[in-house]
Amino acid sequence: MYNLLKGKRGIIFGALDENSIAWKTAERAHEEGATFVLTNAPIAMRMGQIDKLAEKTNSEVIPADATSIEDLENLVEKATEILGGKLDFVLHSIGMSVNVRKKVPYTESNYDFTAKGWDVSAVSFHKVMSVLYKKDAMNEWGSIVALTYMAAQRVFPDYNDMADNKAYLESIARSFGYYFGSDKKVRVNTISQSPTPTTAGQGVKGFDGFIAYAEKMSPLGNATAQECADYTISLFSDLTKKVTLQNLFHDGGFSNMGVSQSVMEYFIKE
């Protein structure tokens, strides 16, 4: 380990179980010397094992609905009190689509479901940053990171309205990141990760096919959840102080590929 986050404080949203990128990021942040608060929605906490992670990383858990300003204000106030000062990093690892869960086709979207997923997956990021900004809760040169997926730019039919949510999430990162950078010297970025077999990801129809295809297309293969955690730590560290407003592809090169030899071989008739 490198002590990259020694003395740094933060909040990590979205750790559900050992498959979660947020879970692995918390483990790595702890290894690199950070202290942090863990948070998730109460219903997600009942489904997951966050208390196990808290014990492992000597962290406290503060339940919060990321769509509730009141909950977020309470979270930030308690976190800065528990941690003994302003924050240096925040990870937003939250995503949910009721349309996906209910297997509603994109062309037949239930718009009440759409609004709920949009609020949880994207608008919550604006709300988190709004509370942090208004409370002046981030230290200068702090880092805020959200996780996204390339369906924000390209068509993956079965990703459904989560593609729209991720596109909006990335726009929020850029727009709010401008103000956070100009006014607070805080950087805001998104990581566009390879398809990863997390609990949430596996809810998408055809997800195994996503993973297999991306593996064959990517020169370096798919990035794992553990590797994403490592990359996230680098963005929390002082080594990336001037990186902001970026959507950073962490996908083994998939995002720049047109076609790979291994995919072509599948279609070429002998």
User: Which residues are part of a known binding site for NAD(+)?
Assistant: 14, 20-21, 94, 166
| Model pTM score | 0.96
Q: Which of 111, 149, 168, 231 is catalytic?
A: 149
Active site residue 133: no
The mean per-residue pLDDT over the stretch 97-119 comes to 97
What are the sequence ranges of the domains in the chain? 9-267
The mean per-residue pLDDT over the stretch 186-202 comes to 87
pLDDT digits (tens, 9 = 90+) for 73-105: 999 999 999 999 999 999 999 999 999 999 999
| Nearest alpha carbon to residue 232 among 25, 3, 90 | 25
CATH architecture of the domain with residue range 9-267? 3-Layer(aba) Sandwich (3.40)
In the chain, the percentage of residues whose pLDDT exceeds 70 is: 97
Give dist(CA 196, CA 157) in Å, integer: 17
Average pLDDT for the chain? 95
Q: Which of 106, 159, 179, 266 is catalytic?
A: 159
pLDDT digits (tens, 9 = 90+) for 23-79: 999 999 999 999 999 999 988 887 779 999 999 999 999 999 999 999 999 999 999
pLDDT digits (tens, 9 = 90+) for 5-20: 999 999 999 999 999 9
The set of residues, in sequence order, having a beta carbon less than 8 Å from that of 218 and lying 6+ positions away, is 194, 251, 252, 253, 254, 257, 260
Using DSSP's 3-state secondary structure scheme, residue 37 falls into strand
- CA-to-CA separations, 259 to 157, 229, 265, 266, in angstroms, rounded: 19, 28, 10, 11
